Amino acid sequence: MVRAIALAGLVALAACAPSKLAYGTVKSALRDAGLSEPNSACMAERMTDRLTIGQLQKLKKLKGADRSLGDFVAAVRRVGDREALEVTASSAALCATGLAREKR
């Protein structure tokens, strides 16, 4: 019984680990793509939960100078991955709204 509980705990931890590990990588990639630190932090959290590693790898290639959220969404559109675009656009909108509230 104790072994089964320990195994269940390890499985749950392993399921959480990839998204936690990916968060830092995705946040760095968003910064490299030209997004601000607050936008990168906000969007990375949501994107790691909703996109596959393959999709995140595609987005990691979008390096650039300082960009607005709109410019980044336009760059993602050119990647040609509909789901990645939907997640990126909705993340950008939610983060922009949340960050605007925090500045008040």
Residue pLDDT, tens place only, 47-82: 999 999 999 999 889 988 888 999 999 999 999 999
pLDDT in tens, 3-34: 545 434 434 444 444 556 689 999 999 999 99
Joined tokens for residue 61: 């290639």
**Domain interval for residue 17:** 2-103
Smallest CA-to-CA distance from 72 within 58, 81, 63, 101 is with 63
Smallest CA-to-CA distance from 19 within 47, 40, 42, 39 is with 47
Q: How many domains does the chain have?
A: 1
